[in-house]
Amino acid sequence: MIGYLQGVINPTLTEYFFVVVYFLTMAEKILIVEDEPSLQETLAYSLRKEGYNVETVGDGRAALDSARQLKPDLIVLDIMLPEMDGFEVARILRKEMTTAILMLTARDDEIDRVVGLEVGADDYLTKPFSMRELLARVKAQLRRTRLLREEMGNREASPGGHEILKFDNLAINLTRHEVLLNAEPLQLKPKEYELLLFFAEHKSQMLSREFILERVWGWDFIGDSRTVDVHIRWLRQKIEVDAATPLRIVTVRGGGYRFEG
């Protein structure tokens, strides 16, 4: 026993080696797309220091190539880029993968497009921002990605290789981030999509507003649980036959919701 403990407390070089290899292979991959060398370097340095496996590129085309090859867990994406801008990069990648995208905007008038349907970034930061703020957002995104992966279930692959969740006449295409009702695509805002996906992955479970808020909006979201009610109202208008008497997302007495499928 004592020998065993000593082995644990005083690891040999071989043990150190395996621990390092373990962390290198387990580390979450982040792709940084930023053309300004000093910012690219600062971002890479800060994220590597946190233990992430970081790759950097400086233009939009290289971003597409790297994202397809690396399949990162998160992409930090600048908007103004040579070759192809961040809007276009995000629009293309959204159709190919579910990787979280954190966009870096330089102007307030870009924000509507960043969070809108066309781009649907998971989060954004407006320049200039602090590294502390960036790290908090990165952690929150990766945490949400991990939780979503853990909670995946109840899915099938379509002939095109797309992952689809089906609930009667409602289908969620996870590959394309698309929702079909009676085979017709629904126009959902990014948060409505995430909310529906969250419900789909917790079918028949009672979910409190606070739990939904934390899981779908993230722990660092500034707002209250009325945000959840508002989004559910919008979602009901799109997926229920009669939003006034919902059958899919039902209200549970005592402050929550349940997805019935």
CB-based contacts of 56: which residues, under 8 Å, 6+ apart?
A: 31, 32, 33, 34, 40, 43, 44
Q: Which of residues 238-257 bind Ca ion (CB under 5 A)?
A: none
CB half-sphere exposure, 108, CA atoms < 13 A: 0
Q: Residues binding Ca ion: what is the number (CB under 5 A)? A: 3
In the complex, the smallest distance separating the C-beta of residue 204 from Ca ion, rounded to whole angstroms, is: 46
Q: Is-cis flag, bond preceding 11, omega within 30?
A: no
Q: Which of 80, 84, 152, 250 binds Ca ion (CB under 5 A)?
A: 80
Q: Does 88 bind Ca ion (CB under 5 A)?
A: no
Q: Does 83 bind Ca ion (CB under 5 A)?
A: no
In the complex, the smallest distance separating the C-beta of residue 78 from Ca ion, rounded to whole angstroms, is: 4
Q: Which of 255, 249, 251 is nearest to 236 (CA)?
A: 249
Stretch that binds Ca ion, among 76-84, 157-165, 178-186, 248-256 (CB under 5 A): 76-84
Give the residue at shortest CB distance from Ca ion: 80
In the complex, the smallest distance separating the C-beta of residue 37 from Ca ion, rounded to whole angstroms, is: 11
Please give the angle made by the CA atoms of 46, 50 and 52, to the nearest 5 degrees.
95
Tokens 């960036």 label which residue?
Answer: 134
Rounded Cα distance between 59 and 85, Å, is: 8
Rounded Cα distance between 93 and 65, Å, is: 10
Stretch that binds Ca ion, among 44-52, 77-85, 155-163, 192-200 (CB under 5 A): 77-85
In the complex, the smallest distance separating the C-beta of residue 103 from Ca ion, rounded to whole angstroms, is: 11
Q: Which of 28, 59, 73, 78 binds Ca ion (CB under 5 A)?
A: 78
Q: Which of residues 6-45 bind Ca ion (CB under 5 A)?
A: 35
